[in-house]
Chains A and B, each alone.
Chain A
Amino acid sequence: MGILKTFVLGGVHPEENKLSSNAPIEKLAIPKQAIVPLGQNLGAPSKPLVKRGDEVKVGQLLAEAGGFISTNIHSPVSGKVLKIDNVIDGTGYKRPGIVINVEGDEWIDEIDRTEDLKTEIKLDGKAIIEKIKTAGLVGMGGATFPTYVKLMPPPGKTAEYLIINGVECEPYLTSDHRLMLEKGPEILVGTQILMKALNVKKAIIGIENNKPDAIKHMQELVKSFEGITVQALKVQYPQGGEKQLIKATVNREVPSAKLPIEVGCVVQNVGTAFSVYEAVQKNKPLIDRVVTVTGKAVKKPSNFLVRIGTPIQQLIDAAEGLPENTGKIIGGGPMMGKALTTTDVPVVKGSSGILLMKKEESQRKVESPCIRCSKCTYVCPMGLEPFLLSKASKLGKYEIAETEKIMDCIECGSCQYTCPASIPLLDYLRLGKNKVGAIMRNRGRN
């Protein structure tokens, strides 16, 4: 195999803990009540189209896009709309959502529910993008950026490579891994659809070396697909970040504050590629996704195929309950995920996993003064100086934070993970990013 590729700058290698990598994807029962938040994507929330008391079917449009960077939301269940009200989300804030009381499981007729693989792509590029837009697809890796926006390069820019992200660099999570093993052909057809939409000839699937079975499986499968190659990568967090993955696979560097299209690349997650296949070939909008439920104390670490809107309590129950000494429930992976305040929150388009952490693991260490070891600078994959940026944002020196490129931070958390003084670097970086972002937006307005 030779020396494995990876990105050059920074990075860490946390304990992998992929406990659920051997658990096949299970279909979870439909919930009794589905909660569908209206803000499920990066950008503007969607506008509801249904009223209280309306009968809805699976796949019916519930809410339409509320702007350019926004998506449609389709009903994941069939039943009656109970209310459109503020529902609690993972952070404890209440945001608008649609609550549906489930009755039966009636699907709209357009959706092809058969399992057979459809390889023939009938639509042309424009029609594909339109289809992806109406199906409400977002980046399934967690950032939930509307997929169709990425497929429309700004004028003057053309894509050369499509990079499919099968890295799954977050510890614990295995949803993409299982998807590659079980739905490989579908992902590859989805990749071909994306290639057609973008009009690119080359696609690379990047997979980290801790998933040898997935690499082998995909390498076997790509032989019958033209233009797609599989690239094994050295395990390194945060390789799943767009910019890091581009550096690792095609050795190009995305300039500061620019998008990957600048260097002719478009990155999509394997989960997104699978959803693209379903949306284009089977007419199925984004109504379900694979979610990993895992943790060291969890009795049965699993991967579930669940409908959007299922309360995570149901997922935890399916994984044989909440372990007794659970300290934190985290939505997402341990590095970038956020602690949830309640188990009533629903699965949304961007939920890739639920991590139940033991009390001992979840406790933060006591912060001590910075010893200027510069470990954070060494591991930062964006080449920033986290100690300086966090201090600047703590003291409100947002001008310094801006000139030191705080907006380039990808919030991967490597700095905080590696800090021997346990300083909450990322907390302050996020705060600074918020403030600097607001300042920059204001400046643009004036």
Chain B
Amino acid sequence: MDNVIIIAVAALGGLGLIAAVILYFIAKKFKVYEDPKIDEVEEALPAANCGGCGFPGCRAFAEATTTSAKKNKNLEGLNCPVGGNDVMQTVGSILGLEVEAADPLIAVIRCNGTFKNTPAKVKYEGATSCAFAHALYGGEGGCQFGCLGLGDCVDACDFDAIHMDPETGLPVVNDKCTACGACVIACPRDIIELRKKGPKDKKIFVSCVNKEKGGPAKKNCAVACIGCGKCDKVCKFDAITINSFLAYIDFEKCTLCRKCVEVCPTEAIWEVNFKPRKPKPVVEKVIPKPVVEKTTVIEKVEASPAPDKETKE
């Protein structure tokens, strides 16, 4: 009996030994050199595999950064939005490069078509998918640019950062947003935009994407941008452009002065996370009074048609 056991062990051990030797030489022969830094960088990344950087997963991003560091000696155009600056600094230190701090971004919902602002005219009963509803019809409130409220963005979010508000019927972004951009791609109406987070999360943006003329836009939604151009005139920093009856604020140029918010007749421009205003406008109103004192009649004539014009524009 002992013999059998010894033979078996010897045979298997011998086979194992031969296989080990073959495998050793094969491994030597076909070895693929991989930069150990790729593994290090991958380790530093958040491992969310969200694709927010534009690469299929964190590994691919690690490979891209390592090759870029080798070839171009910089990390231009490469940014992990989920990790933010901290992660990018670590990646930079692993690769021995200085990384410029990029401004953190956040997803912003550019629609304020709540149930109140855009009352529903029809009822939608089809499949709960914005993409399908968008292909089928204009929307319950009649605004063909606004949020459909069926939650494709919520489904797309991997970070639990976007939710539907049952009271307004609009999605809300919370702090968990990593600006990966999945919701931006999912939204069939291009409502969601990645904007600069700003100091202390302060943001100013046009909360509307309606490209219709003022009248039709206002008909369906009380807070639509009517493209009147008042904000453009008041902006000293050239940050506002108006294209097909829709204002857009360039967040690179915007200095958060809030002048445009004051003049907007439809409250389409939003200021977020600012302190409440001081009662400043009272002082402003006093100034023009002595000028108009000459004739009271003219003042009345000038004053009355002005609001009409505003709405017509």
Q: Which residues of A contact B (CB under 8 A)?
A: 86, 91-94, 338-339, 341-342, 363-364, 394, 424, 427-428, 430-431, 434-435
Contacts and interface: CB of A to CB of B under 8 A. Distances in A.
B126 interface: yes
Nearest to A431: B132
Contacts of B129: 394, 427-428, 431
B127 A92 contact: no
B117 interface: no
A431 B137 CA distance: 13
Q: Which of A342, A394, A431, A434 has the most CB of B within 10 A?
A: A431
A339 B122 CA distance: 10
Contacts of B131: 431, 435
Contacts of B126: 364, 424, 427
Q: Which of A342, A363, A427 has the most CB of B within 10 A?
A: A427
Contact of B144 (A93, A363, A431, A434): A93
B144 A341 contact: no
A93 B127 contact: no
A92 B132 contact: no
A93 B139 CA distance: 9
Interface in B145-181: none
Classify the secondary structure of B's interface with A: loop
Given A364-B125, A424-B127, A427-B127, A92 B144 contact: yes
Nearest to B138: A92
B125 A91 contact: no
A258 B136 CA distance: 26
The 3 closest A-B pairs by CB, nearest first: A92-B138, A427-B127, A424-B127
B60 to A, nearest CB: 20
Nearest to B156: A396
B303 interface: no
Contacts of A363: 125
Contact of B138 (A91, A338, A364, A394): A91
Contacts of A91: 136-138
B147 to A, nearest CB: 15
Given A431-B132, A434-B135, A341 B127 contact: no
B142 interface: yes
A428 B133 CA distance: 10
B142 A92 contact: yes
A431 B139 contact: no
B212 interface: yes
Given A94-B144, A341-B121, A364-B125, A427 B138 contact: no
Contacts of B216: 94
8 contacts: A91-B138, A93-B137, A94-B138, A427-B126, A427-B127, A427-B132, A430-B132, A435-B131
B226 to A, nearest CB: 16
A338 B125 contact: no
Q: Which of A341, A394, A428, A434 has the most CB of B within 10 A?
A: A341
Contacts, number: 50
Counting contact residues on chain B (CB < 8 A from A), the size range is 10 to 19
A435 B185 CA distance: 14
Interface in B107-141: 121-122, 125-127, 129, 131-132, 135-139
B138 A341 contact: yes
Interface of B: 121-122, 125-127, 129, 131-132, 135-139, 142, 144, 212, 216
A341 B216 CA distance: 16
A408 to B, nearest CB: 19
Contact of B139 (A92, A342, A428, A435): A92
Nearest to A94: B144
B132 A341 contact: no
A341 B125 contact: no
Contacts of A434: 135
A431 B138 CA distance: 16
Contacts of A339: 122, 137
A364 B128 CA distance: 13
A297 B226 CA distance: 42
A42 to B, nearest CB: 16
Q: Which of A92, A94, A339, A434 has the most CB of B within 10 A?
A: A92
Contact of A430 (B125, B135, B144): B135
A428 B131 CA distance: 10
A394 B132 CA distance: 10
Nearest to B131: A431
Nearest to B141: A92
A369 to B, nearest CB: 15
B135 A341 contact: no
Contact of B142 (A341, A394, A427, A435): A341
B138 A93 contact: yes
Contacts of A424: 126-127
A192 B138 CA distance: 43
Contacts of B139: 92
B135 A92 contact: no
A406 to B, nearest CB: 14
A430 to B, nearest CB: 7
Contacts of B212: 86, 94
A342 B122 CA distance: 9
A153 B230 CA distance: 58
A41 B277 CA distance: 55
B194 to A, nearest CB: 21
Contacts of B121: 341-342
Contacts of B127: 424, 427-428, 431
A394 B131 CA distance: 10
A338 B142 CA distance: 16
B233 to A, nearest CB: 27
Nearest to A427: B127
B95 to A, nearest CB: 34
Contacts of B122: 92, 339, 341
A219 to B, nearest CB: 42
A424 B139 CA distance: 18
Nearest to A92: B138
A313 to B, nearest CB: 15
Nearest to A91: B137
Contacts of A428: 127, 129, 132
Contacts of A92: 122, 137-139, 142, 144
A91 B133 CA distance: 10
A431 B136 CA distance: 9
A86 B212 CA distance: 10
